[in-house]
Each structure stands twice: as structure tokens, then as C-alpha cells.
Amino acid sequence: MVYEERNLWSTLVVSVVAMIVYVIVILQAADGGPLIEVDWVPIMLWTIGASIVGAIVVSIVWGMVASVRDPDGTGKSDQRDRDIARMGNRVGYAIIVIPGLGVIALCAFEAHWFWIANTMYLGFAVSTIVGGIASVIAYRRGLV
């Protein structure tokens, strides 16, 4: 597995875990009550921060382990990595349109900030995950 693919897997795994943890923490904080009463801002900020740091840490640790087996491949990226990253980003951006429209609709109906912010957060998370999955498929099955 090349350096960029490892980074991709790190981001993908951490994003999925972060999204699941976020939903669980929010539901626990609500404790059966209305979700809009949850103090979601610090939870969301901590989740975003932790997922960024987590992806970096996982990537570094994985890279260290991988460099023992393949010292030459450490930190290398090439044209194929860039092409796959571009394709993955394109897929991710296409997905982000959906929550973007959802946020406009929620604003139009004067929905609570909780739903507006969380729709956007969910959109970013899903966009990252779907873009990541598309890139992983390209690494595994090819990009022509």
C-alpha cells in the first residue's frame, strides 16, 4: 500500500469513527429529550478537532510501521496519487451539494440552528467518506 493510500485509509477510518462517536455522544447528551436542547457546539468542535488530529496520528504511526517493511516507499507520492485524489475530491464535492441545498431549505423554513449546523456537518462527513471510498476503489480497481 502506497503512502497516499495509507493516508486515505487513515482519514476514512477516523472520519467514520468520529461520525459514529459524535452521533452517540449527542444522543447520550439528549438523554431522550429534544435534540435541539443539546449543547452541540463543543461536542462538534471536539469531534472535528479530534478527527483531524486522529487522522494525522494514525497516518504517522501506520507510516512508521510501513517504513520498516518498505523504507523506499515512505512519503512518496506520484502522478497516480494526484489523479486519484482529484477524482476523490470531485466525487466529494458532488456529494456536498446535497446538504448544501438541505441547509438552504432548513433556513427557508427557519429550522433550529442545531439542524442547520448538523446537516452541514453530516454533509462534510459523508462527502469525506464517499470521496474516500471512491479513491480507495480507484486504488484497488484502477483509474483509467
Partner 1 sequence: MVKPTRVTNSIRAVREAAGMTQAELAKRIGVTRQTLIAIEQGKYSPTLELAFQISRVFGVGLDDVFQYPEA
Q: Which residues bind partner 1 (CB under 8 A)?
A: 1-3, 5, 72-73, 76-81, 83, 138, 141-144
CB of 5 to partner 1, least distance (A): 8
Contact 38, 26 (CB under 8 A): yes
Cα end-to-end span (Å), the chain: 19
C-alpha cell at 30: 439528549
Cα–Cα dist 94/101, whole Å: 12
Cα–Cα dist 128/102, whole Å: 17
Contact 139, 22 (CB under 8 A): no
Nearest to 41 by CA among 54, 55, 25, 57: 25
Nearer to partner 1, 84 or 95 (CB): 84
Nearer to partner 1, 63 or 100 (CB): 63
Nearer to partner 1, 6 or 22 (CB): 6
Nearer to partner 1, 72 or 110 (CB): 72
CB of 2 to partner 1, least distance (A): 5
CB of 77 to partner 1, least distance (A): 8
CB of 87 to partner 1, least distance (A): 11
Nearer to partner 1, 90 or 112 (CB): 90
Cα–Cα dist 126/97, whole Å: 11
CB of 84 to partner 1, least distance (A): 9
